[in-house]
A and B are shown apart, each in its own frame.
Chain A
Amino acid sequence: MLSHLVIGQSLYFGDSLFYIVTFLLLMWIIKVVAWGPVTKMMQERADKISNDIDSAEKSRNDAADLVQKRQAALANSRSEAQTIVNDAKTNGQQQREQIVNQAQADVQTMKQNAQKDIEQERQDALSNARNDVADLSIEIASKIIQRELKGDDQKALIDSYIEGLGKQHES
């Protein structure tokens, strides 16, 4: 085996050439079949992982922002609701007072109107009665006296009697 290393023996340089060619061919095949695709895949994976880390960080920040916004909105809506309730309360109070006042005023007016009407009707009834009594008296008097009197004079006389009667009745 070692004899070919002795000077003078034929060294098989062909082997060197063979191995260099084989090695280069192998390198080319490995590059095409495996090295290129695999290193590309590894690079892609490294990129993807770093991207994922970045996007995870970003979405974490987004989520935190969102939480903050939500909390602010919640607090806002709470105070808003408080205001709305308060407004409604004061409105209701005002309206209640208004309605009650209105009702009181209405009642007052109605009462006054009713009193006025009653008074009016009493006056009407009184004057009607007065007229009827006067006419009746005249008829009765004319029948009693059987004498033609001047209607107007008699009537005035009787009215004055009846006036006195009414005053006596009122008091």
Chain B
Amino acid sequence: MNGDPVSTFQFLGLTFSTANVVSGLVVFVLMVAVIFFTSRKLAMKPTKGQNFLEWLIDFTNGILKGSIPAGDVGKFGLWGFTLFLFLFLSNELGLFIQVATRGGATIVRSPTSDPMTTLTFSLMTMMIAQFAGVWKLGYKRHFTNYLKPFVFWLPISIFEEFTNFLTLGLRIFGVIFSGEMLLGVIWDLAASHGIATMIVAVPIEMAWQGFSAFLGAIQAFVFVTLSSVYISQKLEVEE
């Protein structure tokens, strides 16, 4: 995949990657469908779809409650839910559907196998953390947090913001990208010597697909967990 041509287009003076836009739209449509069909006929006694949705909401709220103070969880619940579901569907999408043009440029794959996407989400997390800090503590206390535990810590604090931003985005990208790349490599192996390699490679491919599906879920979970940790760090005054 590394040498594959990337299909891009220009819009409003910005460069867009066709694969990212199309995959993102696929995830968008999938997610709206899931949310729409599970949230029909809401009742006090939940039925199948509502049960699933409520379980998911409880799950993401549980992730947030792990680090964010209980009083503030409600304000981040919707964000955590959307983020988790979006990342999960994005991670899993490429494992099952990969569409490429005749030229070799992929059109549909996991949006999260592109660092641009994952870094966008990690940047969003960092910005939410900054805004949440200012909203909760006020400008003065928020920025004096950078001078804790002592004033000369400032460069490290600022550097930490950038490393957090990069590690958060690149972790999920690395896992998903490598998973998809290995899928491609195994498939190349399967196709290399006809039926013999096919028989050997298909079980490996399936096993790796299952493992990647697991990793995709774990990475979505880890991303939301770490995001909530970074936000919670900004919500309290460091001692």
Contact = CB atoms under 8 A, between A and B. Distances in A.
Nearest to A12: B15
Contacts of A34: 35-36, 38-39, 53
Nearest to A21: B24
B98 interface: no
Interface residues of A, number: 35
Contact of B115 (A5, A27, A31): A5
Contacts of A2: 2, 115
A33 B78 contact: no
Given A13-B15, A37-B42, A30 B24 contact: no
Interface of A: 1-5, 10-20, 22-23, 25-27, 29-31, 33-35, 37-39, 41-42, 44-45, 48
A1 B177 contact: yes
A34 B57 CA distance: 10
Interface of B: 1-2, 4, 6, 8, 11-12, 14-17, 20-21, 24-25, 28, 31-32, 35-36, 38-39, 42-44, 46, 50, 53-54, 57, 77-79, 81-83, 86, 111, 113-117, 119-121, 123-124, 177
Given A19-B117, A33-B35, A34-B39, A42 B16 contact: no
7 smallest beta-carbon distances between A and B, as pairs: A14-B14, A14-B16, A34-B39, A12-B15, A16-B120, A15-B20, A15-B116
A22 B124 CA distance: 13
Given A15-B16, A15-B114, A39-B77, A20 B35 contact: no
Contact of B17 (A5, A15, A38, A42): A15
B78 A20 contact: no
Given A19-B117, A30-B81, A34-B39, 5 more contacts: A16-B116, A18-B16, A23-B82, A26-B28, A34-B38
B229 to A, nearest CB: 20
A158 B203 CA distance: 168
A110 B79 CA distance: 114
A18 B18 CA distance: 11
Given A19-B117, A27-B79, A38-B57, A12 B28 contact: no
B16 A20 contact: no
B53 A48 contact: no
Contact of A38 (B50, B82, B86, B121): B50
B1 A38 contact: no
Given A1-B4, A38-B50, A39-B77, A19 B44 contact: no
B39 A38 contact: yes
B147 to A, nearest CB: 31
B28 A22 contact: yes
B130 to A, nearest CB: 15
A7 to B, nearest CB: 14
Given A10-B15, A14-B14, A14-B16, A33 B6 contact: no
